Amino acid sequence: MISKKMLITRDTFDQLILPVYKPASFIPVKGKGSRIWDQQGKEYIDFSGGIAVTSLGHCHSLLNKKLNNQSKILWHISNVFTNEPALRLAEKLVSSSFASRVFFANSGAEANEAAFKLARYYSSKIYSINKNKIISFHNSFHGRTFFTVSVGGQSKYSNNFGPKPSGIIHALFNDINSVKKIINNDTCAIVVEPIQGEGGVIPANVSFIKKLRELCDQYNALLIFDEIQTGIGRTGKLFAYEYYDVNPDILTLAKSLGGGFPISAMLTTNKIASVMRPGIHGTTYGGNPLACAVAESVIDIINTEKILLGVEKKSKIIIRELNIINKRFKFFTEIRGKGLLIGVVLKPSISDKINKILNFSFLEGVIFLSAGHDVIRLAPSLIIKKCDIIEGMKRFYHALEKCLS
């Protein structure tokens, strides 16, 4: 038993929590904007954004106000009923996208699970029960449920859990010929991330996405865009698909949608949604009034010219500072991504020190993520201040200095 008087420390985690995470040695206790503070009062500049989640920083005043107001009205009623915040949020998503219908859930994995089930169900109803093959890509990541982790292209996350779902095949990202070799009339869907996040912050080529759309049309397959990381302004547009002049059939959102409050969504068209009936799919918490009220405010704030143009401006500042740092250390081979989803690729000679770099960064008071074994990922608040960027880059510089000593 843990005494009520016992001081909560990092060791408490090792005693109580299932060991599926390896958290940092410090415990954050407060956040404001792009800065957080730990138990000892040490300040950190946050370039991780809670893994691309805190799109408006920590404890945004308008989100706090919206959550507080909604908490006094209605918390939860389940999907036996609908509610006004969910309907308003759905309208905002539909009016801003290709979609006509929305399904709300709680996490990116749940949104993708719904997308994959819908693709198979639609194809079985409209075409054939045998039209159930899903094409995904190596190094992709689509969630942690058994179905979504199997669709994801990283076997380290799906091995040793027993027989995997069948009908899933992986192609090479940005290689259309590898897709042409495996697509056929039994393919129900191709799922792709516009930017592979966990796979190393690798953007999809415009020609690749356009040809995927052509192949899906040719084989009556659905094109699913996983925008769990890229959606809601992360790239400088509300949705990353807008860069490709291609509409998906299904799109999934999470992370930035709630600005830190758990919520996700799957968007699709009337045509595809027409096969669904009550009871075919569902979730108890999906469309929760609290979550939808917060997400509605997130959309209102981000879906403006000022914020979306600001994403690109802030991205240029960060990349400029990273290039200045690299002139001194020559640790990076490439800086890639889009908007405020940025990947810093380490040289092979330094890639085995990525955890050391991240830990020294913590010590200097700046927080980054990793993406794969050799990429430092930045996914900060979309409204991070210039002064926070400059200060954070100074701290990163000092962290890299320590790596040399």
Binding site feature residues for N(2)-acetyl-L-ornithine: 144, 283
* CA 129 vs CA 125, 216, 220, 271, 279: distances in Å: 7, 18, 14, 18, 20
Pair 110, 264: CB distance under 8 Å: yes
> Where is the binding site for pyridoxal 5'-phosphate, in residues?
108-109, 141, 226-229, 284
* Cβ contacts of 250 within 8 Å, gap of 6 or more: 115, 118, 119, 189, 222, 223, 224, 225, 266, 267, 268, 272
User: If you ran DSSP here, which 8-state letter would residue 241 be given?
Assistant: G
- How many helices (H) does the chain have, and how many strands (E)? 14, 17
Contacts of 364 (CB under 8 A, 6+ apart): 395, 396, 398, 399, 402
Annotated binding site: 108-109, 141, 144, 226-229, 283-284
CB 89 within 8 A of CB 83: no
Instruction: Describe the chain by its helix, strand, coil percentages, rounded to 5.
Output: 40, 20, 40
Q: Which of 216, 162, 156 is nearest to 184 (CA)?
A: 216
